[in-house]
Amino acid sequence: MIEKYLNGLEVPKDELTPIERMRLFDQGKEIDRIPCCLDTGETMAPLLGFSIKDYYHSAEKMCQLEEYLFENFRSDGAGLSTTLRGMAEAMGSEIRYFDDNIAQLKKPALTLRDIDNAKLVDVEKDGRLPIILEGLRMVKKKLGDKVSISGTVTGPFTVAAMVLGTEYLMMGMIKKPEKIKQLMEVIVENNNRYIQRLLDLGVGIGFADPVSSTALISLHQYQEFSLPYFQKNVDFIKKQGGGCGLHICGTSRALWESLNDTGIGTFGLDNVEDLTEAKAVLGSHMCIQGNVPPVEVMRLGTPQDVLRSARDCIKKAHDSKCGFVLTSGCQMPMHTPKENMLALMDAARIFGRYPLNKDLGEE
């Protein structure tokens, strides 16, 4: 069954534009197919011949890439991220940039001894935040009438890891817990300053918080050092009538019950977690999204592999009470084949078209 779709002749055409689809989806109304978003970013810069370092420092290149991705793949979402180290850089961390790899933390801004010096940022001046905001303004102007635009913010706990260094954050939770909480309050304020600009721009808001994964911390540590501060960012958004989503890389199952009362609208789970279980635990509280493996399938697999994996995701989560969005389990790596990105979008059209075929193209 899969092979007959590969020449494109069997792929149904979209009946709605991406922005129409997501507006109706958000209202709980009938749409033509399951939404599908490509999880992209700086890793896609080589598609236009940009070095990743140049992409990071150019609002124009950020906008050009989003325009290219939309025009070529018709994802149901577009936008830009602070990236995991963007806020920490604005707070004083030194970041190492590469032409052909994502940025890495070079030198943390703080040590456990000088948390009193944690910096309150000016989002219009510090680090790359002004560049990203300008890029978002450009993307909104270019594509805002065609597709939903969002800005991704780094979760407070992950910012803390990039401000202190992950090892010292872990040590600090044990040796100097009150100092860590003091730092978290500063980060909450910095995030809120950036979030306010996103709200002013009228774009959606998502959070990426990989250091909150239970691969690194316990549920108790999450509830003490991460969740309360993330909640303050969420509450800031909700008080202004906005909504937001969250993605946590790696294992997150132990955290799910804690997320149900946060008020977030969407949770994106890594491919190491199960969509069926997420539907049972989270599905009555929020939309879930995921979770085609970004490396094994999207980067290293074939279009057939992508179609099969996406079909399985749809089979598991298509009837989640608050909705389901098909995407990869995390950001797609550099050199992900364009054919595989097209196959993911096609999978939503083939297997996610309403009314859904109950056998979902079983072979």
Query: One digit per residue, pLDDT tens: the chain, 363 residues?
Result: 566 665 555 789 999 999 999 999 999 999 999 999 999 999 999 999 999 999 999 999 999 999 999 999 999 999 999 999 999 999 999 999 999 999 999 999 999 999 999 999 999 999 999 999 999 999 999 999 999 999 999 999 999 999 999 999 999 999 999 999 999 999 999 999 999 999 999 999 999 999 999 999 999 999 999 999 999 999 999 999 999 999 999 999 999 999 999 999 999 999 999 999 999 999 999 999 999 999 999 999 999 999 999 999 999 999 999 999 999 999 999 999 999 999 999 999 999 999 998 666 555
Q: Which of 21, 39, 12, 17 is nearest to 290 (CA)?
A: 39
Are 123 and 193 spatial neighbours (Cβ–Cβ below 8 Å)? yes
Report pLDDT for 291: 96
Question: Which residues, other chains included, contact 94 with Cβ-Cβ below 8 Å and sequence gap of 6+?
Answer: 105, 106, 107, 109
Go through the domains of the chain in sequence order and give each one's CATH number.
3-351 (3.20.20.210)
Report pLDDT for 31: 98
Question: Which residues, other chains included, contact 311 with Cβ-Cβ below 8 Å and sequence gap of 6+?
Answer: 2, 347, 350, 351, 360, 361
Report pLDDT for 44: 98
